[in-house]
Structure 1
Amino acid sequence: MAMDRELVTCTKGDGFWTRRILCTIRRLVRLSAKSSTVGNMAVLILSISCIDGNLLNAFYHAAPSSEIIRQSSMNSTISSVIFKDYDVTVMLFHSAYLVDIEQTEKGRVMKLDSLKNGDIWKTMDVLVFNSWLWWYRRGPKQPWDYLQYRSKIVKDMDRMFAYKMALRTWTRWVNSQVNATSTKIFFQGISPSHYNGSEWNEPGVTNCLREEQPVDGSTYPGGKPMAATVLRSALAPVRNKVQLLDITLLSQLRKDAHPSRYNGFKSMDCTHWCVPGLPDIWNQLLFASLFS
């Protein structure tokens, strides 16, 4: 409950952008041929990322609606908020890797060339995807035991290569299954972390604890993360269907915007972001993209 109260406080100022995003989604649906078959209801699917959870809670707490219905699936894979006044349903679909993780006799296997959830996603009016944060997690936080690509199953592999293979599977699904005339697709770019001070010209610094100012200028000394290059390359075959929400550079400059030690996990957090703050800018970029 403490987290809920904090989110209410942090997102009160987001009501304006919440209303504009909801109205824009509704307008897009009503202008599309698909809207007549779904009762003027847009469905926004969000994969796992900071923007997604914050935006869903911002919608729930800030949207001025006389009737709001919040739902969640039994296994918490899908959370949704229905806004009756706007004829809009916003869904958060927890799929950290986009591709499938299946329980087998061998254990939990992540199949880099399988994407069964796509049968649900392709029916939506607006899709916002993201996948990167969890790819290098190991130990108890890693939700799989083996990786499979085609017929080969391995205990582990180069994580960047695995990420690339998963993205290729996703782009093939987009090309073969999604109708771009009735579904708008966005992919949120790579969200960076700040644990290496050499990247912002402070050698020896190993976290964001005492960072109180953004990086000066409009370039990041450490350059673009490899994952951002991999993502942009993967999206090239679907550039006519998918719009990249490129948040990487503007987020790299905000080394001061992390919770650092001020979080509920009692550990240094230079990966997630404070609310309100940088995620508000991400939401504004999403609104601008929807409106355009």
Structure 2
Amino acid sequence: MALLCSQTSCSVFTSFFILFFLLSLQCQKGTSFHHHHHHHERVHHQKPILKANNNQSTCALFVGSWVYDESYPFYESSSCEIIDPEFNCQMYGRPDSDYLRYRWKPLNCELPRFNGVEFLLKMKGKTVMFVGDSLGRNQWQSLICMLSAAAPHAQTQLVSGDPLSIFTFLDYGVNISFHRAPYLVDVDVIQGKRILRLEEVDKNGDTWKNVDVLLFNTGHWWSHQGSLQGWDYVELGGKFYPDMDRMAALERGMKTWANWVDTNIDRSRTQVLFQAISPTHYNENEWNAAVGMTTKNCYGETAPISGTTTNLGGGATYTDQQMRIVDMVIREMRDPAYLLDVTKLSEMRKDGHPSIYSGELSPQQRANPDQSADCSHWCLPGLPDTWNQLLYVALFY
């Protein structure tokens, strides 16, 4: 059937059709930063959509194995001045280097390679803030090193402080910040005593408002005893306790944090992620060590646990118990944080810790790794670079 119209009405119809066509094209192209990952904010464990191999429908980002790859690492420790001595294993005498060259391989897809310039361009004018303990600081410094290596001539500025440090890529207006808050909830000092307030987070939370990407972590400090303990009293329900069940304390603190985020963070502006608890390697039984080993921890380990994360088992370690609480609390949030679920893939990296190459240890300390090896933090370059590669995928894919 022919379309009949006058010259005027046809002209109007044609103009309308062209306008409609241009608008539809614009809608297809114009995916903004916020729209791009709104689906991550709604679904706790939803993985970024990557092209999967073997006709699998989705990419299981956090399940897989470690593959030796000569194209790694992303940077040299000697070229990144921000690395703390306790993370700078090459500078402090670590003799092996294979641990630098492992790439994370998800089970049924390929992880996109980190592109630092793309990261800076997409985050132009925005702020990324790591919030938590020294494992968050470990990851914060890793990201700065990765971005600095990708944009070596960019003008930068570091403002160091406690609890807040800010590293700025001035050419891009990108702030990469670290806020030290090991428990996430507030710790106040009253008459010389440190009070861990399990039901208050407002003092810390003021720092987290109006940030574009928030990545939280906690875990290790909840188990500290004796001189390493970060509080003198726990406050709960208006009462003060010298101690309490540590798992119960973690759960109460996490729920306070989760309620605060649900109430105070504008999720149309801010992407909220939670870094799964980083495992330690102080017990060789956890990786089925051979009988007759001379050390009882990560000292002397030069390769990852072989196989895949699915072979590791689980549920036995203190970290696994903590992760069950973290997982439960995040699932119960009104708008769940995206869980960067790195615990199992990190458990395989018994080779990635500073061990006795953690800053200026004395000869006596180095001779006694059973007492002095750091099997909690990670060398840089090293495993936290993979955490940031996964953060990159979560933000942009």
TM-score category of the 2 structures, normalised to the smaller one: 0.7 to 0.9
Deviation at 1:82, TM superposition (A): 1.9
**Distance (whole Å) between structure 2 residues aligned to residue 274 and residue 82 of structure 1:** 23
The DSSP-based 3-state class of the residue aligned with 1:249 is helix
Structure 1 stretches (4+) deviating beyond 6 angstroms? none
**Distance (whole Å) between structure 2 residues aligned to residue 180 and residue 287 of structure 1:** 19
1:1-292 aligned at under 5 Å gives the runs 5=81, 7=83, 17-26=115-124, 41-47=125-131, 48=133, 49=135, 50-59=138-147, 63-73=151-161, 76-105=162-191, 107-116=193-202, 117-202=204-289, 206-218=296-308, 219=310, 221=312, 223-224=314-315, 225-238=320-333, 240-264=335-359, 265=361, 266=365, 267-292=372-397
Query: TM-score w.r.t. structure 2 length?
Result: 0.63
Q: Against the structure 1 CA distance between its residues 55 and 203, is the aligned structure 2 distance closer, same or farther, given a 3 Å change threshold? A: same
CA contact (8 A) 2:140 2:176 kept: no
Residue 34 of structure 1 corresponds to none
Query: TM-score w.r.t. structure 1 length?
Result: 0.83
Q: Which residue identity does 2:119 align to in structure 1?
A: I
Deviation at 1:214, TM superposition (A): 1.6
What residue ranges of structure 1 are gaps of 5+ in the alignment? 27-40
Identity %: 36
Report the count of equivalent residues: 272
User: Which stretch of structure 1 is more off in the superposition, 243-252 or 204-213?
Assistant: 204-213
**Distance (whole Å) between structure 2 residues aligned to residue 274 and residue 187 of structure 1:** 21
**Distance (whole Å) between structure 1 residues aligned to residue 334 and residue 121 of structure 2:** 26
CA contact (8 A) 2:148 2:154 kept: no
Provide, for residues 9-46 of structure 1, a one-character-per-residue CA deviation record: whole Å limited to 9, x for no partner.
98xx9x964333322322xxxxxxxxxxxxxx211111
**Distance (whole Å) between structure 1 residues aligned to residue 219 and residue 337 of structure 2:** 17
Where relative contact order (Cα < 8 A, 6+ residues apart) is larger, the structure is 2
CA contact (8 A) 1:260 1:269 kept: yes
What residue ranges of structure 2 are gaps of 5+ in the alignment? 1-77, 91-100, 102-112, 366-371
**Distance (whole Å) between structure 2 residues aligned to residue 128 and residue 281 of structure 1:** 15
**Distance (whole Å) between structure 2 residues aligned to residue 6 and residue 111 of structure 1:** 32
The DSSP-based 3-state class of the residue aligned with 2:381 is coil
Q: Against the structure 1 CA distance between its residues 235 and 263, is the aligned structure 2 distance closer, same or farther, given a 3 Å change threshold? A: same
Deviation at 1:57, TM superposition (A): 4.9
Larger Rg: 2
The DSSP-based 3-state class of the residue aligned with 1:134 is helix
RMSD (Å), alpha carbons: 2.7
